Structure 1
Amino acid sequence: MTVLPSRERAGVLFSRIGALVVIVAAVGLLPWLSGRDPALSVLRARSAEQEPTSEALDAIRRELGLGAGPLAGLGDWMGGVLRGDFGRSWVNGAEVLPSVLSGLGVSLTLMAAALIVALLLATALCAPTLVRGVRGTLRGTTGTGAPAAALAALPEFLIAAVLLVVLSVWLGWFPPYGWQGAQHLVLPALALGIPAGGILGRLVDDALPPIFGERWVGLWRSSGCTPAVITRAVLRRAMPPVLPQLGLVAVGLTGGAVAVETVFAVPGIGRTALGAAESQDLPLLQASILVLVLLGVVVGGLVGGVRRLMLGPGLRDTALSLPATAGGAPSTLRRAIPAVCAVVMAVVIGWGLLREPLFLDTTARLAAPSGTHPLGTDSLGRDVLARLGHGAAATLGVALLVCVCSYVLALALGFLPGLASGIAETANAVPPVIAGILVAAALGPGTFGASVAVALVSWPPLAAHAAALVQETRAAAHLTAQRAIGSTPMWILTRHILPAVAGPVARHAVLRLPGIALALASLGFLGLGAQPPAPEWGLMLAESLPYVERAPWASLAPAAMLLLLAALAMSLSTTPVRRRHRTSPSPQGNSA
């Protein structure tokens, strides 16, 4: 544990506040960030048939005060927000605040139910480790990490689609859409809570073995302490490092709620924001996004306060991290999972690339799998296998480009750890879906906007890794010797620090590539990414859901590819990253 210097703490606080101000300002400037005339957007939102004459546009500018310019408009909007006035809808003229509060109440109910599901699932995942640890039979690491990682890798929109097909359409256990009673809460809560429970379960399960290996646990056990007392003490010891991640999980529920509410037609704040973005109702969109961002900030602050209380006054100013776990050699199954997933995906993609993805056969609409169409056809008669193959470029190719951009940005910001950490924490409070809605409102929906949105929120983990490696490398003894013999700062940077940082962060970025692809697919699923007729996997899943009862294969094919991608992300995330440590500098001064 190390104490952060006061200047660094001030830098983190300043960057955190600055990043929040930038996000709020971006929300306030949405009418002008798109480059389109806000008055024209209002006119189109109210009536698509009305002619955009200069008189009509001037009347709207006078009505809404849009003629004063972006800075004055931002000031007026922020002043209204401080007074509790979020303006009126551009579509129907109604006040925005009641709609936002109504949607917020629904979303909070859904997120609370999802959090209960997540905690129950995390408890079930950690229970075997906890029982063996209390009995003193725990040996090394546990085996629940892989199932937890598998659940954590599944995106909410994919779980929602699978639950809709299996539990609602096929089995008929729960209603597919609506928000009329408790039975409508089950499937959305499961879709949101399963990935969150997987994340929490894996974190706690990884943290427990080192704690049970500490000497005080054996002392308490030998002195006759009951299992309940030991369990409470171990959980209290494990919780402070996990609590910040619990805050991120709770924040992530706000982004996942957008997709889940869309699938199940839940009238929450996320679906309200998405509908406002699609209809260009910017006042309603501004209020919805602002509420979602502030909700994330408030949750993060509350979790931080609880963590400080649990740590006590002696440790409040220290950087306490998750206990390190012993990394064993990967098992044969763990090595086989990514290979099998990659081979299956390569076969499907290669086979599909040999076929025509845009050919329409209206006589074979929603046809079942056959020799002519191995995976069937969609609602327009297009071959599903061909669209899966050609959709790999839109899903995986764009993800690779986003990953490279995030890597370069993280590498640059890693040399400014005080500045980067606060920005990274604030960026973590904006899930990809929320960023996608903001970018779509400014740039319009499309592949470029989705790529920008995912890139904006995918660099923080890489930047945190780079910053830690930079600090570690700068403090190495051989660099002190290099400075003592007169090596220039540029020599040290290019021959020691950059080689020590670039390689591990690059491997980290590769591990995150499937997750980035899933984030892009989620935006495509919501209509914020690639647009029809592009064969993008998330978009294919969204287009096939209305016909799921008649042609389930059209939904299951893209869902299966996304599941393989999630399995690949899971297997890579559980692969230990090996690092080499130098004990002395090489004769040429190159760092390993």
Structure 2
Amino acid sequence: MSVTSAGAGAGAAAGVRPIRWRTGLGRLAAGAALLTAVALLPWLSGTDPALTVLRARSADQDPTPAQLAAVREQLGLDEGPFTHLAHWLGGLPRGEAGTSWVSGEEVLPQVTAAFAVSFTLMLGALVVTIAVAALVSARTLYRGSRRRLHRGRGTTGAAVLAALPKFLLASLLATVCGVWLGWFPSSGWEGPPSMVLPALALGVPSGAMIGGLLDQSLPAAFNEPWARTWQAYGFAPGHIARHALRRTLAGVLPQLLPTVVALVGGAVAVEKIFNIPGLGRLALDAAIAQDLPPLQTTTLALILLGITAGLFIQALRRALLGPALRDGALPALHAPALPRGRSARWVAGACAVSLLTLVIAGLLRDPLHVDTAARLLPPSAAHPLGTDSLGRDLLARLGHGALRTVGVALAVTAVSVVTGLLLAMAAQVGAGLTEVVSTLPAVLAGLLTTAVTGPSAWGAACAVCLVGWTPYAAQAAALLEQERASGHMLASISLGAGPGYLFRHHLLPAVLPAVLRNALLRLPTAVLVLASLGFLGLGEQPPTAEWGRLLSENQPYVELAPWTVLGPACALVLLSVLAVSGTATVTTATGQRLRRR
């Protein structure tokens, strides 16, 4: 090694240390802020914490002032939230996390047992996620290694799978595979067989999401000069495919962080359906009862899990990139403009026409008309999509809920994308903040937001925005890191290019198309998260018609009247396919702009 390269390596190592220290401080500050917000939850809710705890203990709806005063004195509620937080933090070094305000039991054994269950379930769901992602991207990987790329098939299938609501998929699996066929247990946690159905319910949509992103990124890797050169020299297709996959995984790996944490803390609905005593369910029950010690301990466990997963993913990503990232030889991937098949255009057009027809037909009907004599009727000429449990026409509710559903989801996605891009620019602080905030389940964020704003559609939207920016920030930070190390950007800097020029002509074109593709693929996910908050009473309130609420309201009737969820589920799938078809337009326009530049 030459003196120059050795000096450069030493300088790079010295420059990395301050960045790591700042990132660590960002993690510490974000974790402290999150724990403080959780500690304030009982006092932010506007209700007496003693009243909530007493009702959780005995279900007494009219406690006497003497009973409330006794609970306040027992729990020390008059001391305020910060004193409680200090006492709880002081007990952690001694292995003490306090006792539950509701049950009076030690918190640490409860959280440890729940974490073990959720971690085991997460590993199973992660295996399913990786398997589904591999299946979704296998066709593009095979054809790309032979220079026969084509757009519009694998990603469309991924969009359909990613649009499946996890709680709806869990209900179907529990009913069909658990109750009807008896293949696996449909309730409880009694060993490995109990893990199969919930792991499928969690892993299939998550794997489709990751596989769709990988499927969209692979053509750019196969279009790079090294891949074309290797193919011209006759390298084996399998050899080229392995290196293209390694090249692409580096940009997709950051998306695993929110996925991994969501498989633990965000699996509340699936845990409730399968009656699994997991960490997400424990956090939700504690938050609803305002039982602060288990809620704080659960939040801390999720934060530590997120930070550990973030560090592991970062190390794995750097191992995949190797010295190329450090030496500035690895530019960001720019997706080429690929030909779109005629079948893909026909599918996109059919989805658009079908969705528009459903919405217009529904707008011509009354969504609030109740007919108790027509409860749970199957589809007919009078009710093309059937009726719900109150006898309301499902087509009418689907049509009237379209504008609100898509509008709120688009607004949430836009705010999340902008927030993620801005925080990705501040890499030294954004990395730690992303890891910590991604550990916050949307349900817990909804409880914190509802405590201030009250239950409403826009309160739920704010809750999703609080946590929804993390996938885009992780992806944008990874792409920015590659672009800043690329040779053409270093050449522009050496020629005197300023920050504004670099941002407009290098950073933004390298990052924005990929983030927009990710956002479009995640659009139905935003709808489903809003639906889960509405299902728990934290979002859209009845009798408002909204797609997510239609799913959550009719989910108990899946076995008796499956048509009650078929309409909104199909509408979500149609919306997801349309969103994916829009990514082709984004990729093509960006590719043309890059070629002109």
Same fold (TM over 0.5): yes
Q: Does 1:273 align with 2:283?
A: yes
Query: Which of the residues 11, 27, 33 maps onto 2:44?
Result: 33
Given the alignment, which residue of 227, 231, 253 partners 1:213? 227
Residues 82-112 of structure 1, C-alpha deviation per residue, up to 9 Å, x if partnerless? 4333333333322233332222222222221
Of residues 373, 376, 379, the one that matches 1:369 is 379
Separation in 2, partners of 1:253, 1:263: 15
> Would you say 1:386 and 2:396 are equivalent positions?
yes
Map residues 452-491 of structure 1 onto 2, 5 A cutoff. Answer: 452-460=462-470
Q: Which residue of 2 aligns with 1:587?
A: none
Structure 1 distance, partners of 2:138, 2:515, is 35
Cα deviation, residue 49, structure 1: 2.8
Residue identity opposite 2:60 in structure 1: E
Q: Is residue 146 of structure 2 the alignment partner of residue 137 of structure 1?
A: yes
1:287 aligns with 2:297: yes
Aligned ranges 1:62-81 → 2 under 5 Å: 62-81=73-92
Return the alpha-carbon distance in structure 2 between the equivalents of residues 271 and 358 of structure 1: 33
Aligned counterpart, 2:433: 423
Partner of 2:313: 303
Deviations 1:260-304 (A, max 9, x none): 222322222222223333444343333333323322222222222
Equivalent positions of 1:194-273 (< 5 A) are 194-205=204-215, 206-207=217-218, 209=222, 213=227, 215=229, 221=235, 239-273=249-283
Contact 1:289 1:434 in 2 (8 A): no
* Cα distance in 1, alignment partners of residues 273 and 203 from structure 2: 15
User: Displacement of 1:167 after TM fit?
Assistant: 4.3
- How big is the shift at 1:72? 1.6
1:246–1:481 Cα change, 3 Å: closer
Which letter does structure 2 place at the counterpart of 1:139? Answer: R
Query: Matched residue of 1:213: which SS?
Result: helix
The residue number in structure 2 matching 1:340 is 350
Which residue pairs with 1:486 in the alignment? none
In the alignment, residue 90 of structure 1 is paired with which amino acid?
W
Q: Unaligned regions of 5+ residues in structure 1, if any?
A: 484-488, 585-591
Quote the RMSD (CA, aligned, Å).
4.5
1:275 aligned partner, one-letter code: D
Deviations 1:412-434 (A, max 9, x none): 65765544454344333435345
Give, in angstroms, the shift of residue 378 of structure 1. 1.7
Q: Secondary structure of the equivalent of 1:551?
A: coil
Mapping for residues 402-421 of structure 1, pairs under 5 Å: 402-406=412-416, 409=419, 416=426, 418-421=428-431
Task: Summarize deviations over 1:106-150 as a string: whole Å, max 9, x none.
Answer: 2222221112222333333444555567xx634346763443444
Alignment-derived partner of residue 3 in structure 2: none
Counterpart contact for 2:370–2:391, Cα < 8 Å: yes
Contact 1:106 1:268 in 2 (8 A): yes
Cα distance in 2 between the residues matched to 1:277 and 1:551: 33
For residues 384 and 200 of structure 1, do their structure 2 counterparts lie closer, same or farther at Cα, with a shift above 3 Å needed? closer
The answer to whether the Cα contact below 8 Å between 1:45 and 1:90 also exists between their aligned partners in 2 is: no
Q: Does 1:357 align with 2:371?
A: no
Q: Counterparts of 2:262 and 2:175 in 1: how far apart (Å)? A: 24
Q: Displacement, 1:535?
A: 2.7
CA–CA distance in 2 between the matches of 1:399 and 1:202? 20
Shift of 1:454: 0.8
Greater Cα offset, 124-133 or 12-21: 124-133
Q: Which residue of 1 aligns with 2:5?
A: none
- Larger displacement relative to structure 2 (179-188 or 201-210): 201-210
Alignment correspondent of 1:96: 107
Matched residues, number: 572
The answer to whether structure 1 residue 436 and structure 2 residue 446 are counterparts is yes
Which of residues 112, 116, 124 is equivalent to 2:127? 116
Deviation at 1:408, TM superposition (A): 5.7
2:203 pairs with one of 189, 193, 207: 193
Residue 455 and residue 363 in structure 1: after superposition, are their counterparts in 2 closer, same or farther (change >3 A)?
same
DSSP 3-state at the match of 1:305: helix
42, 54, 57: which one aligns with 1:46: 57
Which stretch of structure 1 is more off in the superposition, 277-286 or 163-172?
163-172
Deviation at 1:197, TM superposition (A): 2.4
How far apart are 1:367 and its partner, in Å? 1.9
CA distance in 2 between counterparts of 1:423 and 1:404 reads 20
- Given residue 213 of structure 1, which amino acid in structure 2 is its aligned partner? A
Give the 3-state SS of the residue equivalent to 1:367 in structure 2: coil
Task: Identify the residue that residue 578 of structure 2 maps to in structure 1.
Answer: 568
Counterpart Cα distance in 2 of 1:120 and 1:360:
45
Deviation at 1:194, TM superposition (A): 1.2
Distance 1:409 1:250, change over 3 A: closer
Any idea what SS the aligned residue of 1:399 has?
helix
How do 1:512-591 residues align onto structure 2 when only pairs under 5 Å count? 513-573=523-583, 575-577=585-587, 578-579=589-590, 581=593
Q: Shift in Å at residue 204 of structure 1?
A: 4.8
Whole-Å separation in 2 of the counterparts to 1:411 and 1:336: 34
Q: Judging changes above 3 Å, is the alpha-carbon distance between structure 1 residues 177 and 304 closer, same or farther for their aligned structure 2 residues? A: same
Give the Cα separation in 1 of the matches to 2:62 and 2:290. 18
| Counterpart position of 1:589 | none
Aligned 8 A contact 1:352 1:386 in 2: yes
Checking the alignment, whether the CA contact within 8 Å between 2:129 and 2:206 is kept in structure 1 is yes
Distance in structure 1 (CA, Å) of the matches to 2:595 and 2:252: 32
Shift of residue 400, structure 1, vs aligned partner: 3.5
Aligned to 2:94: 83
Alignment of 1:119-198 (within 5 A): 119-128=130-139, 137-140=146-149, 144-164=154-174, 167-168=177-178, 173-198=183-208
Distance 1:506 1:102 in 2: 38
Percent of paired sites with the same residue = 47
What CA distance in whole angstroms lies between the structure 1 residues aligned with 2:324 and 2:421?
34
| Contact in 1 for aligned 2:258/2:438 (Cα 8 Å) | yes
**Residues 289/392 of structure 1: CA separation in 2 closer, same or farther (3 Å cut):** farther
Distance 1:131 1:114, change over 3 A: same
What residue is the counterpart of 2:6 in the other structure?
none
CA deviations 1:45-96 (Å, max 9, x no partner) are: 2244354554333322221122112222221222234433333333332223
Residues 1:109 and 1:318: Cα distance change in structure 2 (over 3 Å) = farther
Per-residue deviation, residues 145-172 of structure 1 (Å, max 9, x unmatched): 4434443444423432443455456666
Inter-partner Cα distance in structure 2 for 1:36 and 1:240: 47
Cα–Cα, structure 1 residues 550 and 232, in superposed 2: closer, same or farther, change >3 Å? closer
TM-score, normalized by length of structure 2?
0.79
Distance 2:207 2:415 in 1: 30
User: How far did residue 332 of structure 1 move?
Assistant: 3.6
Change (3 A) 1:229 1:410: closer
Amino acid corresponding to residue 61 of structure 1 in structure 2: R
CA contact (8 A) 1:243 1:303 kept: yes
Say whether the 8 Å CA contact 2:252–2:475 is kept in structure 1.
no
1:588 corresponds in structure 2 to none
Q: In structure 1, what is the Cα distance between the partners aligned to 2:324 and 2:497?
A: 37
Give, in whole Å, the separation in 1 of the partners of 2:129 and 2:519. 28
Q: Are the counterparts in 2 of residues 16 and 423 from structure 1 also a CA contact under 8 Å?
A: yes
CA contact (8 A) 1:149 1:574 kept: no
> Cα–Cα, structure 1 residues 218 and 494, in superposed 2: closer, same or farther, change >3 Å?
closer
1:17 — aligned with what? 28
Kept after mapping to 2: 8 A contact 1:12/1:418: yes
Contact conserved, 2:333 with 2:510, CA < 8 A, in 1? no
The 2-side partners of 1:461 and 1:186 are apart by 27
The Cα offsets for residues 344-379 of structure 1, whole Å up to 9 and x where unpaired, read as 233223322333323322222222223333222222
Q: Residues 345 and 33 of structure 1: is their aligned pair in 2 closer, same or farther, counting only changes over 3 Å?
A: same
